[in-house]
Chains A and B, each alone.
Chain A
Amino acid sequence: MIKGILEVLGLEPERVFLTWIGASEGPQFAQWAHRIDQFVKEKGLNPLNKSSIT
Protein backbone atom coordinates (compact mmCIF):
# COMPACT_ATOMS: atom_id res chain seq x y z
CA MET A 1 0.00 0.00 0.00
CA ILE A 2 2.79 2.38 0.94
CA LYS A 3 4.49 1.55 -2.33
CA GLY A 4 1.24 2.25 -4.17
CA ILE A 5 0.88 5.63 -2.51
CA LEU A 6 4.46 6.62 -3.27
CA GLU A 7 4.10 5.45 -6.86
CA VAL A 8 1.03 7.62 -7.49
CA LEU A 9 2.74 10.61 -5.92
CA GLY A 10 5.98 9.97 -7.81
CA LEU A 11 8.11 9.58 -4.69
CA GLU A 12 10.35 6.65 -5.72
CA PRO A 13 8.62 3.61 -4.18
CA GLU A 14 11.76 1.55 -4.86
CA ARG A 15 13.32 3.22 -1.80
CA VAL A 16 10.97 1.24 0.42
CA PHE A 17 11.92 -2.37 1.21
CA LEU A 18 9.80 -5.00 2.87
CA THR A 19 11.12 -8.34 3.96
CA TRP A 20 10.92 -10.82 6.83
CA ILE A 21 14.05 -11.90 8.71
CA GLY A 22 13.90 -14.32 11.62
CA ALA A 23 15.62 -13.45 14.90
CA SER A 24 18.14 -16.24 14.28
CA GLU A 25 19.01 -15.20 10.75
CA GLY A 26 21.92 -12.86 11.46
CA PRO A 27 23.73 -13.32 8.14
CA GLN A 28 20.59 -12.58 6.21
CA PHE A 29 20.12 -9.36 8.16
CA ALA A 30 23.67 -8.34 7.30
CA GLN A 31 23.09 -9.17 3.64
CA TRP A 32 20.05 -6.93 3.61
CA ALA A 33 21.86 -4.07 5.29
CA HIS A 34 24.60 -4.41 2.70
CA ARG A 35 22.15 -4.56 -0.16
CA ILE A 36 20.24 -1.46 0.95
CA ASP A 37 23.51 0.37 1.49
CA GLN A 38 24.57 -0.53 -2.06
CA PHE A 39 21.19 0.55 -3.39
CA VAL A 40 21.38 4.00 -1.78
CA LYS A 41 24.95 4.48 -2.97
CA GLU A 42 23.90 3.77 -6.53
CA LYS A 43 20.65 5.67 -6.35
CA GLY A 44 21.95 8.72 -4.52
CA LEU A 45 20.40 10.64 -1.65
CA ASN A 46 16.65 11.14 -1.41
CA PRO A 47 15.92 14.62 -2.83
CA LEU A 48 13.73 15.28 0.21
CA ASN A 49 16.91 15.46 2.24
CA LYS A 50 17.75 18.83 0.80
CA SER A 51 14.24 20.23 0.79
CA SER A 52 13.37 22.94 3.32
CA ILE A 53 9.91 21.38 3.61
CA THR A 54 9.63 18.26 5.70
Chain B
Amino acid sequence: MGKGVFIPLNGKKVQEGLREVWERFLKTSLKALLVPIESEGFISPGLIGTPDGIERTRALAPYIPINTARLLQMLTKLEPPSEPIGVVARPCEIRAAIELRKLKQVAEKNLLLLAIDCGGTYPLRVYQEKLKEGKVEEVQVDQSLIRDACKVCTYPVAPWSDLRVCYMGIDEGIFLEALTEEGERLLKESGFEVEDREFEKRKRVLSELIQDKAQKEDELLRYQQEELKGYEALLRELSICIKCHNCMTVCPICYCKECFFNSPSFEFEADRFLNLLESKGVLRLPTEVLLFHLTRMAHMALSCVGCGMCQEGCPQGVRVFVLFKAVAKKVQGIFQYEPGRDPKETLPLTTFKEEELKEVESRLHVP
Protein backbone atom coordinates (compact mmCIF):
# COMPACT_ATOMS: atom_id res chain seq x y z
CA MET B 1 0.00 0.00 0.00
CA GLY B 2 1.51 3.31 0.89
CA LYS B 3 1.03 6.63 2.61
CA GLY B 4 -2.29 7.27 4.24
CA VAL B 5 -4.50 7.13 7.26
CA PHE B 6 -5.96 4.06 8.94
CA ILE B 7 -9.32 4.68 10.54
CA PRO B 8 -10.40 1.92 12.92
CA LEU B 9 -14.10 1.11 12.84
CA ASN B 10 -14.42 -0.17 16.43
CA GLY B 11 -17.47 -2.25 15.62
CA LYS B 12 -19.10 0.35 13.36
CA LYS B 13 -20.19 -0.47 9.83
CA VAL B 14 -17.97 0.60 6.92
CA GLN B 15 -20.64 3.01 5.67
CA GLU B 16 -20.81 4.68 9.09
CA GLY B 17 -17.03 5.03 9.13
CA LEU B 18 -17.17 6.58 5.67
CA ARG B 19 -19.80 9.11 6.76
CA GLU B 20 -17.50 10.24 9.55
CA VAL B 21 -14.70 10.71 7.01
CA TRP B 22 -16.96 12.76 4.71
CA GLU B 23 -18.06 14.85 7.66
CA ARG B 24 -14.46 15.58 8.62
CA PHE B 25 -13.60 16.57 5.04
CA LEU B 26 -16.58 18.91 4.81
CA LYS B 27 -15.92 20.53 8.17
CA THR B 28 -12.26 21.21 7.44
CA SER B 29 -11.13 21.31 3.85
CA LEU B 30 -13.79 20.65 1.22
CA LYS B 31 -16.56 22.98 0.08
CA ALA B 32 -18.68 20.10 -1.19
CA LEU B 33 -18.64 16.38 -1.94
CA LEU B 34 -19.99 14.70 -5.05
CA VAL B 35 -21.03 11.30 -3.76
CA PRO B 36 -23.86 8.78 -4.22
CA ILE B 37 -26.82 10.00 -2.17
CA GLU B 38 -30.34 8.82 -1.47
CA SER B 39 -32.77 11.11 -3.20
CA GLU B 40 -36.53 10.48 -2.91
CA GLY B 41 -35.94 6.83 -2.18
CA PHE B 42 -33.45 6.13 -4.93
CA ILE B 43 -29.69 6.37 -5.41
CA SER B 44 -27.99 8.93 -7.57
CA PRO B 45 -24.78 10.92 -7.47
CA GLY B 46 -25.38 14.23 -5.68
CA LEU B 47 -23.64 17.17 -4.10
CA ILE B 48 -23.61 17.69 -0.37
CA GLY B 49 -22.26 20.88 1.10
CA THR B 50 -22.97 20.82 4.81
CA PRO B 51 -22.53 18.03 7.33
CA ASP B 52 -26.37 17.89 7.44
CA GLY B 53 -26.32 16.00 4.17
CA ILE B 54 -24.00 13.28 5.49
CA GLU B 55 -26.85 10.99 6.53
CA ARG B 56 -28.05 10.90 2.93
CA THR B 57 -24.75 9.61 1.51
CA ARG B 58 -24.78 6.03 0.19
CA ALA B 59 -21.21 5.54 -1.04
CA LEU B 60 -21.54 1.74 -0.82
CA ALA B 61 -24.78 1.47 -2.81
CA PRO B 62 -23.95 -1.18 -5.44
CA TYR B 63 -25.68 0.68 -8.23
CA ILE B 64 -24.44 3.20 -10.80
CA PRO B 65 -27.12 5.16 -12.68
CA ILE B 66 -24.67 7.29 -14.66
CA ASN B 67 -20.90 7.45 -14.98
CA THR B 68 -19.87 10.33 -12.70
CA ALA B 69 -17.23 11.45 -15.21
CA ARG B 70 -20.13 12.65 -17.37
CA LEU B 71 -21.34 14.78 -14.48
CA LEU B 72 -17.86 16.22 -13.91
CA GLN B 73 -17.79 17.30 -17.53
CA MET B 74 -21.15 19.03 -17.05
CA LEU B 75 -20.09 20.62 -13.73
CA THR B 76 -16.80 22.02 -14.97
CA LYS B 77 -17.76 22.80 -18.56
CA LEU B 78 -17.54 26.57 -18.15
CA GLU B 79 -15.29 27.05 -15.10
CA PRO B 80 -13.69 24.81 -12.52
CA PRO B 81 -15.06 25.30 -8.99
CA SER B 82 -13.57 28.23 -7.03
CA GLU B 83 -13.34 26.07 -3.91
CA PRO B 84 -12.30 22.41 -3.60
CA ILE B 85 -14.83 19.65 -4.28
CA GLY B 86 -14.19 16.01 -3.45
CA VAL B 87 -15.52 13.44 -5.91
CA VAL B 88 -16.26 10.04 -4.41
CA ALA B 89 -16.58 7.63 -7.32
CA ARG B 90 -15.91 4.10 -8.50
CA PRO B 91 -12.71 3.12 -10.35
CA CYS B 92 -14.46 3.09 -13.76
CA GLU B 93 -15.74 6.62 -13.12
CA ILE B 94 -12.34 7.88 -11.95
CA ARG B 95 -10.64 6.28 -14.96
CA ALA B 96 -13.18 7.91 -17.30
CA ALA B 97 -12.57 11.26 -15.58
CA ILE B 98 -8.82 10.90 -16.20
CA GLU B 99 -9.47 10.20 -19.88
CA LEU B 100 -11.77 13.22 -20.09
CA ARG B 101 -9.06 15.34 -18.48
CA LYS B 102 -6.67 14.24 -21.21
CA LEU B 103 -9.34 15.27 -23.72
CA LYS B 104 -9.63 18.65 -21.94
CA GLN B 105 -13.23 17.99 -20.91
CA VAL B 106 -12.89 17.83 -17.13
CA ALA B 107 -11.10 20.48 -15.07
CA GLU B 108 -8.20 19.64 -12.76
CA LYS B 109 -8.36 22.65 -10.50
CA ASN B 110 -10.23 22.21 -7.21
CA LEU B 111 -11.45 18.76 -8.14
CA LEU B 112 -10.11 15.99 -5.91
CA LEU B 113 -10.76 12.47 -7.11
CA LEU B 114 -11.47 10.02 -4.29
CA ALA B 115 -11.67 6.49 -5.69
CA ILE B 116 -13.63 4.03 -3.61
CA ASP B 117 -13.12 0.24 -3.77
CA CYS B 118 -15.76 -1.41 -5.93
CA GLY B 119 -16.94 -5.01 -5.86
CA GLY B 120 -19.39 -4.43 -8.73
CA THR B 121 -22.81 -2.92 -9.30
CA TYR B 122 -26.24 -4.40 -10.03
CA PRO B 123 -28.43 -3.74 -13.04
CA LEU B 124 -31.32 -1.35 -12.27
CA ARG B 125 -34.01 -4.06 -11.92
CA VAL B 126 -31.88 -6.17 -9.59
CA TYR B 127 -31.06 -3.19 -7.42
CA GLN B 128 -34.72 -2.18 -7.20
CA GLU B 129 -35.45 -5.64 -5.79
CA LYS B 130 -32.59 -5.24 -3.31
CA LEU B 131 -34.06 -1.93 -2.18
CA LYS B 132 -37.40 -3.62 -1.51
CA GLU B 133 -35.53 -5.98 0.82
CA GLY B 134 -34.03 -2.93 2.51
CA LYS B 135 -30.52 -3.60 1.16
CA VAL B 136 -29.37 -0.10 0.26
CA GLU B 137 -25.63 -0.45 0.83
CA GLU B 138 -23.53 -3.61 0.67
CA VAL B 139 -19.92 -4.31 1.56
CA GLN B 140 -20.09 -7.80 0.01
CA VAL B 141 -21.75 -7.58 -3.39
CA ASP B 142 -23.39 -10.71 -4.83
CA GLN B 143 -21.00 -11.51 -7.71
CA SER B 144 -23.58 -13.63 -9.52
CA LEU B 145 -25.99 -10.71 -9.90
CA ILE B 146 -23.73 -7.86 -10.96
CA ARG B 147 -23.68 -6.29 -14.43
CA ASP B 148 -21.74 -7.94 -17.29
CA ALA B 149 -19.23 -5.10 -17.26
CA CYS B 150 -18.57 -5.54 -13.53
CA LYS B 151 -18.21 -9.32 -13.83
CA VAL B 152 -15.15 -8.89 -16.04
CA CYS B 153 -13.77 -5.68 -14.50
CA THR B 154 -10.16 -6.05 -13.37
CA TYR B 155 -10.21 -2.68 -11.60
CA PRO B 156 -11.85 -3.12 -8.18
CA VAL B 157 -9.30 -0.47 -7.19
CA ALA B 158 -8.50 2.62 -9.25
CA PRO B 159 -4.95 2.67 -10.64
CA TRP B 160 -4.77 6.44 -10.07
CA SER B 161 -6.66 9.05 -8.05
CA ASP B 162 -5.83 11.71 -5.48
CA LEU B 163 -7.03 9.48 -2.68
CA ARG B 164 -8.07 5.84 -2.53
CA VAL B 165 -10.84 4.97 -0.11
CA CYS B 166 -9.96 1.37 0.76
CA TYR B 167 -12.09 -1.11 2.69
CA MET B 168 -11.74 -4.40 0.79
CA GLY B 169 -9.59 -6.91 2.62
CA ILE B 170 -9.04 -4.61 5.58
CA ASP B 171 -10.26 -5.86 8.94
CA GLU B 172 -12.18 -3.48 11.15
CA GLY B 173 -11.07 -0.34 9.44
CA ILE B 174 -10.86 1.96 6.45
CA PHE B 175 -7.61 3.10 4.88
CA LEU B 176 -7.42 6.45 3.09
CA GLU B 177 -4.44 6.15 0.77
CA ALA B 178 -2.95 9.35 -0.64
CA LEU B 179 -1.50 8.96 -4.14
CA THR B 180 -0.87 12.61 -4.95
CA GLU B 181 0.32 15.68 -3.09
CA GLU B 182 -3.22 17.05 -3.26
CA GLY B 183 -4.55 13.88 -1.69
CA GLU B 184 -1.98 14.05 1.09
CA ARG B 185 -2.74 17.72 1.69
CA LEU B 186 -6.45 16.93 1.99
CA LEU B 187 -5.70 14.37 4.69
CA LYS B 188 -3.38 16.72 6.58
CA GLU B 189 -5.78 19.66 6.36
CA SER B 190 -8.48 17.42 7.74
CA GLY B 191 -6.32 16.78 10.76
CA PHE B 192 -5.25 13.22 9.97
CA GLU B 193 -1.77 11.87 10.70
CA VAL B 194 -0.32 10.38 7.53
CA GLU B 195 1.72 7.21 7.92
CA ASP B 196 2.99 4.29 5.82
CA ARG B 197 0.88 1.15 6.11
CA GLU B 198 0.85 -2.29 4.53
CA PHE B 199 -2.16 -4.63 4.50
CA GLU B 200 -1.11 -8.16 3.60
CA LYS B 201 -4.65 -9.52 3.65
CA ARG B 202 -5.86 -6.76 1.31
CA LYS B 203 -3.11 -7.58 -1.18
CA ARG B 204 -4.16 -11.23 -1.16
CA VAL B 205 -7.90 -10.52 -1.38
CA LEU B 206 -7.46 -8.10 -4.27
CA SER B 207 -5.09 -10.30 -6.22
CA GLU B 208 -7.52 -13.23 -5.94
CA LEU B 209 -10.44 -11.05 -7.02
CA ILE B 210 -8.54 -9.58 -9.97
CA GLN B 211 -7.37 -13.02 -11.06
CA ASP B 212 -10.94 -14.29 -11.00
CA LYS B 213 -12.20 -11.30 -12.99
CA ALA B 214 -9.37 -11.62 -15.53
CA GLN B 215 -10.44 -15.21 -16.11
CA LYS B 216 -14.05 -14.08 -16.65
CA GLU B 217 -12.77 -11.41 -19.01
CA ASP B 218 -11.01 -14.10 -21.06
CA GLU B 219 -14.20 -16.12 -21.16
CA LEU B 220 -16.18 -13.10 -22.38
CA LEU B 221 -13.63 -12.32 -25.09
CA ARG B 222 -13.72 -15.97 -26.19
CA TYR B 223 -17.51 -15.83 -26.28
CA GLN B 224 -17.39 -12.75 -28.51
CA GLN B 225 -14.95 -14.45 -30.88
CA GLU B 226 -17.19 -17.51 -31.09
CA GLU B 227 -20.65 -15.96 -31.11
CA LEU B 228 -20.46 -12.28 -32.04
CA LYS B 229 -18.04 -12.25 -34.92
CA GLY B 230 -18.46 -12.10 -38.68
CA TYR B 231 -20.99 -10.42 -40.94
CA GLU B 232 -23.90 -12.64 -40.11
CA ALA B 233 -23.56 -12.66 -36.32
CA LEU B 234 -22.83 -8.97 -36.10
CA LEU B 235 -25.73 -7.91 -38.30
CA ARG B 236 -28.04 -10.20 -36.35
CA GLU B 237 -27.00 -8.48 -33.11
CA LEU B 238 -27.40 -5.02 -34.60
CA SER B 239 -30.72 -5.85 -36.25
CA ILE B 240 -32.39 -4.88 -32.97
CA CYS B 241 -30.60 -1.51 -32.78
CA ILE B 242 -33.00 1.39 -33.27
CA LYS B 243 -30.22 4.01 -33.42
CA CYS B 244 -31.64 5.90 -30.46
CA HIS B 245 -28.09 7.01 -29.58
CA ASN B 246 -28.60 6.12 -25.90
CA CYS B 247 -25.30 4.19 -25.78
CA MET B 248 -23.58 7.29 -27.07
CA THR B 249 -25.37 9.67 -24.71
CA VAL B 250 -24.50 7.70 -21.58
CA CYS B 251 -20.93 6.94 -22.68
CA PRO B 252 -18.57 9.04 -20.57
CA ILE B 253 -15.95 9.08 -23.31
CA CYS B 254 -18.21 10.16 -26.21
CA TYR B 255 -17.88 13.86 -25.53
CA CYS B 256 -18.11 15.72 -28.85
CA LYS B 257 -20.35 18.75 -28.57
CA GLU B 258 -21.31 18.41 -32.18
CA CYS B 259 -21.68 14.74 -32.94
CA PHE B 260 -21.19 13.63 -36.52
CA PHE B 261 -24.29 11.45 -36.20
CA ASN B 262 -26.47 14.41 -35.26
CA SER B 263 -25.06 16.47 -38.12
CA PRO B 264 -26.60 17.27 -41.52
CA SER B 265 -24.36 14.53 -42.99
CA PHE B 266 -27.13 12.16 -41.99
CA GLU B 267 -30.05 14.14 -43.34
CA PHE B 268 -31.00 12.65 -46.68
CA GLU B 269 -33.62 13.26 -49.35
CA ALA B 270 -36.11 10.41 -49.69
CA ASP B 271 -34.67 9.63 -53.10
CA ARG B 272 -31.35 8.73 -51.57
CA PHE B 273 -33.06 5.96 -49.70
CA LEU B 274 -34.73 4.89 -52.94
CA ASN B 275 -31.31 4.72 -54.63
CA LEU B 276 -30.03 2.60 -51.80
CA LEU B 277 -33.12 0.44 -52.06
CA GLU B 278 -32.40 -0.13 -55.73
CA SER B 279 -28.98 -1.61 -55.04
CA LYS B 280 -30.16 -3.70 -52.10
CA GLY B 281 -33.67 -4.83 -52.97
CA VAL B 282 -34.81 -4.55 -49.36
CA LEU B 283 -33.78 -1.71 -47.05
CA ARG B 284 -34.06 -1.89 -43.29
CA LEU B 285 -34.79 1.37 -41.47
CA PRO B 286 -33.34 3.17 -39.63
CA THR B 287 -30.20 2.93 -41.75
CA GLU B 288 -26.53 3.16 -40.77
CA VAL B 289 -26.67 1.13 -37.55
CA LEU B 290 -23.46 -0.71 -38.40
CA LEU B 291 -21.77 2.52 -39.45
CA PHE B 292 -22.90 4.15 -36.20
CA HIS B 293 -21.36 1.51 -33.94
CA LEU B 294 -18.19 1.12 -36.02
CA THR B 295 -17.63 4.87 -36.01
CA ARG B 296 -18.16 5.10 -32.28
CA MET B 297 -15.64 2.29 -31.80
CA ALA B 298 -13.08 4.03 -33.98
CA HIS B 299 -13.61 7.25 -32.05
CA MET B 300 -13.48 6.07 -28.47
CA ALA B 301 -12.30 2.47 -28.13
CA LEU B 302 -8.82 3.61 -27.07
CA SER B 303 -10.25 5.47 -24.09
CA CYS B 304 -13.06 2.99 -23.33
CA VAL B 305 -12.87 2.22 -19.60
CA GLY B 306 -15.37 -0.64 -19.88
CA CYS B 307 -17.92 0.85 -17.48
CA GLY B 308 -20.68 -0.81 -19.51
CA MET B 309 -23.11 2.10 -19.24
CA CYS B 310 -23.74 1.71 -23.00
CA GLN B 311 -25.27 -1.71 -22.53
CA GLU B 312 -27.19 -0.54 -19.45
CA GLY B 313 -28.68 2.33 -21.46
CA CYS B 314 -29.74 0.21 -24.43
CA PRO B 315 -33.53 -0.18 -24.48
CA GLN B 316 -33.24 -3.04 -26.98
CA GLY B 317 -30.71 -5.20 -25.20
CA VAL B 318 -27.96 -5.00 -27.82
CA ARG B 319 -24.82 -6.40 -26.19
CA VAL B 320 -22.96 -3.18 -26.84
CA PHE B 321 -20.58 -3.70 -23.93
CA VAL B 322 -19.45 -7.11 -25.15
CA LEU B 323 -18.63 -5.69 -28.59
CA PHE B 324 -16.90 -2.62 -27.19
CA LYS B 325 -14.96 -4.63 -24.65
CA ALA B 326 -13.57 -6.92 -27.34
CA VAL B 327 -12.65 -4.05 -29.64
CA ALA B 328 -11.20 -1.92 -26.83
CA LYS B 329 -9.03 -4.79 -25.62
CA LYS B 330 -7.61 -5.19 -29.11
CA VAL B 331 -6.87 -1.55 -29.93
CA GLN B 332 -5.62 -0.68 -26.46
CA GLY B 333 -3.30 -3.67 -26.80
CA ILE B 334 -1.90 -2.32 -30.08
CA PHE B 335 -0.63 0.77 -28.23
CA GLN B 336 -0.10 -0.92 -24.83
CA TYR B 337 -2.43 1.75 -23.55
CA GLU B 338 -4.67 1.45 -20.50
CA PRO B 339 -7.18 4.27 -20.21
CA GLY B 340 -7.20 5.97 -16.82
CA ARG B 341 -4.06 4.22 -15.65
CA ASP B 342 -1.96 7.34 -15.37
CA PRO B 343 -2.86 10.97 -16.16
CA LYS B 344 0.69 11.51 -17.46
CA GLU B 345 0.30 8.86 -20.15
CA THR B 346 -0.66 10.68 -23.36
CA LEU B 347 -3.43 9.60 -25.73
CA PRO B 348 -1.84 7.37 -28.40
CA LEU B 349 -3.60 9.10 -31.28
CA THR B 350 -2.30 12.52 -30.29
CA THR B 351 1.25 11.30 -29.76
CA PHE B 352 3.56 11.38 -32.76
CA LYS B 353 6.09 8.61 -33.18
CA GLU B 354 8.10 8.51 -36.34
CA GLU B 355 8.37 4.73 -36.40
CA GLU B 356 5.26 2.80 -35.43
CA LEU B 357 2.64 0.43 -36.77
CA LYS B 358 4.55 -0.29 -39.98
CA GLU B 359 2.67 -3.54 -40.29
CA VAL B 360 -0.60 -1.81 -41.25
CA GLU B 361 0.91 0.17 -44.12
CA SER B 362 -0.09 -1.30 -47.46
CA ARG B 363 2.86 -1.69 -49.84
CA LEU B 364 2.84 -1.98 -53.58
CA HIS B 365 5.83 -4.25 -53.76
CA VAL B 366 6.24 -6.60 -50.87
CA PRO B 367 9.95 -6.35 -49.98
Q: Which residues of A contact B (CB under 8 A)?
A: 1-5, 7-11, 17-19, 28, 31-32, 35, 47-54
Query: Are the C-beta atoms of A53 and B364 separated by less than 8 Å?
Result: no
Q: Which residues of B contact A (CB under 8 A)?
A: 224-225, 228-231, 233-235, 238-239, 276, 279-284, 287-291, 294, 297-298, 301-302, 323, 326-327, 329-331, 334, 349, 360-364
A35 CB contacts on chain B under 8 angstroms: 364
Q: Report how far A10 CA is from B323 CA in the complex, Å.
A: 12
Q: Report how far A52 CA is from B290 CA in the complex, Å.
A: 11
Tell which of A8, A18, A32, A51 touches B326, judged by Cβ atoms closer than 8 Å. A8
Query: Are the C-beta atoms of B298 and A51 separated by less than 8 Å?
Result: no
Query: Are the C-beta atoms of A52 and B280 separated by less than 8 Å?
Result: yes
Tell which of B228, B288, B297, B363 touches A5, judged by Cβ atoms closer than 8 Å. B297
Interface residue SS majority, chain B: helix
Nearest-neighbour CB distance to chain B for A7, whole angstroms, equals 7
Tell which of A32, A52, A54 touches B364, judged by Cβ atoms closer than 8 Å. A32
Question: Which of chain A's residues has its CB closest to B283's CB?
Answer: A52
Interface residue SS majority, chain A: helix
Nearest-neighbour CB distance to chain B for A33, whole angstroms, equals 11
A49 CB contacts on chain B under 8 angstroms: 279-280
Question: Which of chain A's residues has its CB closest to B333's CB?
Answer: A4
Contact A18 to B284, CB < 8 A, known contacts A5-B331, A8-B327, A53-B290: no
B225 CB contacts on chain A under 8 angstroms: 8
Question: Which of chain A's residues has its CB closest to B335's CB?
Answer: A1
Query: Are the C-beta atoms of A4 and B334 separated by less than 8 Å?
Result: yes
Nearest-neighbour CB distance to chain A for B226, whole angstroms, equals 11
Query: Are the C-beta atoms of B234 and A9 separated by less than 8 Å?
Result: yes
Nearest-neighbour CB distance to chain B for A17, whole angstroms, equals 4
A4 CB contacts on chain B under 8 angstroms: 327, 330-331, 334
Q: Report how far A34 CA is from B168 CA in the complex, Å.
A: 62
Question: Which of chain A's residues has its CB closest to B233's CB?
Answer: A10
